[in-house]
Chains A and B, each alone.
Chain A
Amino acid sequence: MSETSDLPVLPTKQELHIWLTQVVSDYLGNPPETLDPARPLAEAGLDSVYALSVCSEIEETLEVPVEPTLAWDHPTIDAIVDHLHGVISTR
């Protein structure tokens, strides 16, 4: 399974959203359409250590420093995307 990023250097919020939903979907083994972007990911099964893995992948793909606790402090897909978009836009 190839995991090269499909993201452009400066992704839009929508592009981030689609990418992140696919990433989380792969981790949880649930199809993307079943993931509610406003629902806490922990409720969907993304435990504390798993969340660190997601953050690591975000950091590598987007090439921005991301706190390992990103998914803890921004617990939904919407919240993560909002935060990341802000970080990318200001770098």
Chain B
Amino acid sequence: MTMALQQLLGDPWDPDNPLGHEAVVAADEAGQLPPGGEELLDSYGLGAEFVPAALGGRLTDVDAMARGLRPLFGRDGALGLGYGVTTIMAAVNVWTSGDPEQQRRLADTVLAGGRAAVCFHELAHGNDFGQQEFAARPENGSLVLNGRKEVINNVGRARALVLFARTDPGAGSRSHSLLLVDPAAVAPASMRPMPRFGTVGVRGCELGGVEFTDCRIPESSLIGPPGSGMETALRAFQITRAALPSMALGTLDTQLRVTVRFARERRLYGATVAELPHARSLLATAFTGLLTADCLTTAACRALHLLPGEAGPYAAAAKYLGPRILLDASDGLSVVLGARHYLREGPYAIFQKHLRDLPVLSLGHAGPLACLASVVPQLPALARQSWANDGPPPPDALFAAGGPLPPLRYDRLALSARGRDPLGAAWPALGRAVLRESGESGGHLGTLVRLLTARFRELAHECAELPRPERTVTAGPQGFGAAAQYAALLAAAACAGTWLDRRRHSDPFLGGTAWLTAALHRLAERLGSAPGQLPTAVEDELLAELFNRHDRHAGFDLDRLPLA
């Protein structure tokens, strides 16, 4: 899909391309999506990427779907979010728990180019969905809706709404249900759009609200049994938590590409910026971050298929750490660009547009703390049951980015991994395998592997002993800190597994130790354990690869696909 989509999007540097950088920046200035952009994606039939193959779409594989959308995010995050992502966020709930009729209806709507809006959010309650007030009251065989949903993308244009509603006044997690509503089928006076919310980033996205007043919908609108809303959402959203940061790699790719171009053109202090040590370090770090995030998000997406019951923590880690890495890389690149990083016009203006879009991709749909919060309660069981033992290793296919996968079993996505963690628990063994294969036990790579393994053992001990009050959403720094560290260690395991896979395939760059050394070095830094400086030779090798890919118009991620 990626190649065809690249062709469709055309040359980003062509000023006449309606989806080129210049046009995208202009549309963003106007607070709109690029004119013609959605129509172009319609003509491509992009909606089919979000509909399961069994229902007539092309969705078979979350990893492939996410990778396939990277070019779109590389062009315009608002178009990516607005066209596709919010639809898939709504749809996963229906693919997970909808009845055949609901699935058929939604599939038909999306395949015909209709948008779906996912209506969970109320400003008063944020991610604390359990406290929500938007209510659906049963009455004479119907449900009556009252309340508001706010800061919802596409709500004014959607042909299908997936609403999270309170269906029981009691406290607790069986008091909410999901509803599938066709806005065209409700009494017009009962549903009122609210004014658009202006945002700093993704300015082309239509973030609106909707207010329902005594709106009557059929009882058949319920997705799954009454009271199953929270459960469905926590299971279905694992798909989008893993996929969204994977798609967002496209955004960093463009930022990195633009910065490399600038760095090799711009001369300062008698050299190009690309020859200045500090700039080189920032470029190499951003490239490293992109590869690291690719390894982590890929493992999370593939785990949904290969390890469905255990994938929850991986998806949460991907959604927490992936955007964090991308944002840090983006910040680093803005330093390289200097003043140009905040200019809203000129050849590098696309950089600041992506800079502003990235935080939305992080916050939208389960912010970082909410993701960590879903992991914190599981840490003691993961530590006690998995990390101390040499359990079964993760399947090799987990690290084979873009490779074949068994079908996604939506019904096997689980609320808790129940102490099972094949990926995290594999870190010590993966680290040892890396040193064996590379022969670099005595070098910097060896030092990093040993440091990370020591940290892993310490974390296992801390998590096994985590006091009860620290194991929940209201945990303090100890609980959240442990979850953040766990995410970094998962990333290390994913990088090591990916390296071993590429080594087996004799990949000259990805099977070489430079990128892995850099990746583990930066992850060790996140864990507070970094040993001094990354060797310059490692950095030089990364930059040689980076500049080479830039000149060949190849992607900066694991796939290295040719760009338009």
Point out residues on A near B: beta carbons under 8 Å: 1, 3, 23, 26-27, 29, 40-43, 47-53, 55-57, 59-60, 68-69, 72-73, 75
Q: Which residues of chain A are within 8 angstroms of B418 by Cβ–Cβ distance?
A: 56, 59, 68
Closest 3 A/B residue pairs (Cβ): A53-B377, A42-B172, A42-B171
| A50→B385 contact, CB < 8 A | no
Cβ of B414 and Cβ of A40 under 8 Å apart? no
Known: A53-B472, A56-B380. A42 touches B419 (CB 8 A): no
Tell me, yes or no, whether B444 is within 8 Å of chain A by CB: no
A29 contacts across to B, CB distance below 8 A: 469
Interchain CB contact (< 8 A) of A53 among B170, B174, B471: B471
In the bound assembly, the distance between CA atoms of A53 and B418 in angstroms comes to: 10
Q: Tell me whether A27 and B472 are in contact in the complex, defined as CB-CB below 8 angstroms, given that A42-B170, A60-B385 are known contacts.
A: yes
C-alpha spacing A68/B173, complex, angstroms: 12
Contact A48 B471 (CB under 8 A): no
Closest B residue to A27 by beta carbon equals B468
Chain B residues with CB under 8 A of A41? 172
Pairwise interchain contact B173-A42, C-beta atoms closer than 8 A? yes
In whole Å, how far is A20's beta carbon from the nearest beta carbon of chain B? 13
- Cα–Cα, bound, A43→B169 (Å): 11
Could you tell me the distance in whole angstroms from the C-beta of B221 to the nearest C-beta in chain A? 22
Instruction: Tell whether, in the assembled complex, residue A49 and residue B374 are in contact, meaning their CB atoms are under 8 Å apart.
Output: yes
User: Does B438 touch A at the CB level, under 8 Å?
Assistant: no
Most central of B173, B385, B415 by chain A CB within 10 Å:
B173
B214 within 8 Å of A (CB atoms) = no
Contact at B473–A49, with CB atoms within 8 Å? yes
- Pick from A50, A55, A56: contact of B473, CB under 8 Å: A50
B468:A47 contact, CB within 8 angstroms: no
Is B447 an interface residue when CB atoms closer than 8 A count as contact? Answer: no
Number of interface residues of B (CB under 8 A): 31
8 Å CB contact of B172 from A26, A56, A75: A75
In whole angstroms, what is the CA distance A26 to B467 when docked?
8
Q: Please give 11 more A-B residue pairs, beta carbons under 8 A apart, in addition to A42-B173, A43-B172, A68-B416.
A: A40-B170, A40-B172, A42-B172, A49-B376, A49-B473, A50-B471, A59-B419, A60-B384, A60-B419, A69-B173, A75-B174
Partner of B467, one of A1, A42, A43, A72: A1
- Report the bound CA distance from A51 to B472 in whole Å: 9
For residue B465, which residues in chain A have a CB less than 8 angstroms away from its CB?
1
**Nearest chain A CB to B339 CB, angstrom units:** 44
Contact A49–B172 (Cβ < 8 Å): no
Report the tally of A-B residue pairs with Cβ distances under 8 A: 88
The verdict on A23 contacting B468 (CB below 8 Å), with A40-B171, A75-B172 known, is yes
**Which single member of B174, B378, B384 contacts A52 (CB below 8 Å)?**
B378
CA distance A5 to B380 in the complex (A): 15
Contact B416 A56 (CB under 8 A): yes
Residue among B130, B171, B231 with most chain A CB within 10 A: B171
Does B373 lie within 8 Å of A49, measured CB to CB? yes
Most chain A C-beta atoms within 10 Å of own C-beta, residue among B170, B376, B414, B472: B472
11 A-B Cβ contacts within 8 A? A3-B468, A27-B472, A47-B130, A49-B377, A49-B472, A50-B473, A53-B472, A72-B173, A72-B174, A72-B230, A75-B172
> What per-residue 1/0 map shows which CB atoms of B211-233 lie under 8 Å from chain A?
00000000000000000001100
A49 to B472, CA, bound (A): 7
In the complex formed, the residue of A with least CB distance to B416 is A68
**Which residues of chain B are near A40, meaning CB under 8 Å?**
170-172
Q: What residues of chain A lie closer than 8 Å to B172, measured between beta carbons? A: 40-43, 48, 72, 75
Interface residues of B in 445-491 (CB under 8 A from A): 465, 467-469, 471-473
CB distance from A13 to the nearest CB of B (A): 23
Residue of B nearest to A47 (CB): B130
Residues of B within 8 A of A27 (CB): 468-469, 471-472
- Knowing A48-B230, A69-B231, the reply to whether A56 touches B468 (Cβ < 8 A) is no
Question: Which B residues from 398 to 447 make CB contacts under 8 A with A?
Answer: 414-416, 418-419
User: Are A55 and B173 within 8 A (Cβ)?
Assistant: no
Q: Which residues of B contact A57 (CB under 8 A)?
A: 380-381
Which residues of A have CB within 8 Å of B377? 49-50, 52-53, 56
Whether the Cβ atoms of B419 and A56 lie closer than 8 Å is: yes
